[in-house]
Structure 1
C-alpha cells in the first residue's frame, strides 16, 4: 500500500476520535450543559446526519479540485469547529459544531476513499479501504479512551482541544504527501457526473449500501451508550470506561484488518458468517450484560465483527460503483452514517421509553437481523434466477425484470 494512505489514516484517526469519543463523554456533557442523557446522545446522531447528508454533497463540491487542496480544506474546517465546541457553554451551539464537523469529515472521507482506491490495483480496494478505516479503529483503541481519560481528569472540553491538536500534523502531512491527481479518470479528466449517477442506481450497489446502513446502525446504537451500559448494568466502575472502549477498539482494529484481506477475495462468506455471528453476539450481550466478565469478553468480539463486516461492505460498495470513482466514496460514507444516525436515535428512543440500558443492545440485534433477512432474500433470489456471471467480490442481488 502507498505510504500516503497511512497519512490519510492519521487524519481519519483524528476524525474517528471525534466521532466516537462522545461514547465516554456523554454523561459529563449532559451534566455540564444540563440536558438529559438521551438529548446529549443526539450529538452523535447530529454528527452522523451531517456525515450522511454531507458525504455526496461534499464529494460533488470537491470533485473538480485536486485532493491536495480539498483534503486540507476539509480538515482545517474540522479543526476549527472543534475549537468552537471546546469553548461553548450552549448545547445548541455544540450541536451545530457537530453538524459542521460532520460535513467536513464527510467531505474528507469521500475524497480520501476516491483518492486511495484510484491509486491502487483494481483488485485491492478492500485493502486500501482497510487502511483508511484502520485509522477509525485506532481511534477506538487510543483516541477514544484517551478522550475519556482527559474528560475524567480535566473535563470533556479537553478532549475537543486534543482532537484539534491532533489534526494539525495531519494537515501538514497531507499537504506535503498526497498526490494531486487521485480520483480522476486515466486520461486525467474527471468522470462526468451524469455517468456516475447512472452507476449509483445499480441494484447491487443499492443493496450493499442498505446493508451497510443497517450494520453500522447496530454498531453505533450500542456503542453510543456503551459507557452507561458497562457502569450501570455490568457494574464496572467509571474509571474502567476508557479500558472498555479500548477493548472495543482493539477488536475493531483486528476486524477491519482481517476484513481488508478477505473483502477482495471471499466477501460473501465473510458477510454471511460475520452477520450471523453479529446477531448472536448482540443477543448474548443483551442477555448477559449484567455479568462483567461476559461483557468484557463480548465487547472486543463485537467490535471485531462489526468493523470486519462494515469495512467489507464499504469495499463491496466501491467494487459495485467502479464507474463512479469520485462519488462512490461519498455514497458509501453517506450510507454508513445514515445507519450511524438511525442507531443512536433508536437507542435513545428505547432509553427514553424506559426500557433500560440494555435496550440499545436489543435494538442492535434487531437491526442486524433485518440486514441478514434482506441479504439472505437477495442472495436466494439471485441464485434462483441464475443471473449472468458477476464480477468477483460483489454482493449479488436479483437482476431487474424487463
Structure 2
C-alpha cells in the first residue's frame, strides 16, 4: 500500500481494531509522511515525535491558529475554552497557567490521594463483584472504568459525589474536542457541555472563596491570589474544566486497555498476580503497547528539519504516539506485551512543555486497579470481544464485558 492509504487504513473499523501493523509499515517506508489530504506531516518514529514535542519551535494549535484555520471559533464556547486553555496555549500564557496549576497539583497533593484512590477502587470493585456474582457478566467501563477517574478527579477538584454522574456525561460531550475532526453534532454537544460545566465551576469557585477546603479548587485560588497577576475568573473556571475533561477520559481509556491487555496475555497476567509489585510495570507496558491518545498536533513556528524532511513554517505536524511507542529502535520486539520490559519510555502523556500534569495520578489509579482486580478475582475472564469506541485520536473501549467466574 502507498503511504496515504496506510495512514487512512487506521481510521477504518479494522484499523481501529489494530492500527499497529499499518503504522509499522508507514514508519518503514515513509516515517515522515506529508498527507496532502489531511494537510499534515505524520511522524511515526519515537525520536522524531519526541523531538517535535520538546522543541519550542513547534507550538500547540492555539487561538492564533483558530484565527487562520477556524474563523467561526467565536461562535463556539467549546472552541473558546479549548484553544485558550493550558492544553493549547503557548509561550508566556501557557507558562503562567501551567506554573499555577503545577503548584496546586503538587506531588504532595497527588500522593496524599493514593489511599483515597485505593478506597474508591475497593468500593467500585465491590459493585463489580455483586454484578458478576453467580456467573453474571458486567461491563467494566460502566461499573469501574469511568466511575473511578470521575470520582478521583471530582474529589480532587471538590465536586460532591452526588454531582459526579452529571459531570461524567458532560465531560464525555466536551471531550469530543480531543478529536482532530469534529462534526456539527460534536460541536453542538461540546458547546452545550462547556457552558454547563463553566456555570457549575463558577459557582464552585465562589463557594471556595468564601469557604476554602482541602481541594484543588481552593489551592488554585490561593496560588492565583499570591501572584502579581492573578488568574481571571474565566481562566480559573476553564483551568478546572480542563483538569476534569482531560483527567477522566484518557484515564478511563488507560484502565480499560490495561485490563484488556492483561486478559489477552494470560501468562503476563499471572506474572503480575504472583508478583503484585509488577502492577506499575504492567500499566507502563500497557501505555506503550496500546496507547490511549493515538496522536497529537503541533504547528511549526518556523522552518524546521525533522527526520531529514524540511517542515515549512505554519505547517501542521501530527505526532503519532501509537506508532512512536512501538518503534523497534526504541523498544525492541515492540508488538510483544512484556511486563518485565527493560527501560520502557513512553510518549503516552506527551513530552516537553505540554507533558500531562495528571500523569502521576493516572498511574496511581492504574496501579490501584490492577493490584486489587487481580488479587480479588482469580478467575477474571473476557465474556466476549470488547467493543472499541469510534474515535480517531482516543483509543478506548466502549464495552469490555467481563466474568469473574471464567
TM-score with structure 2 setting the length? 0.33
Name the one with the larger helix percent.
Answer: 1
TM-score with structure 1 setting the length? 0.33
Point out the structure with max Rg over C-alpha. 2
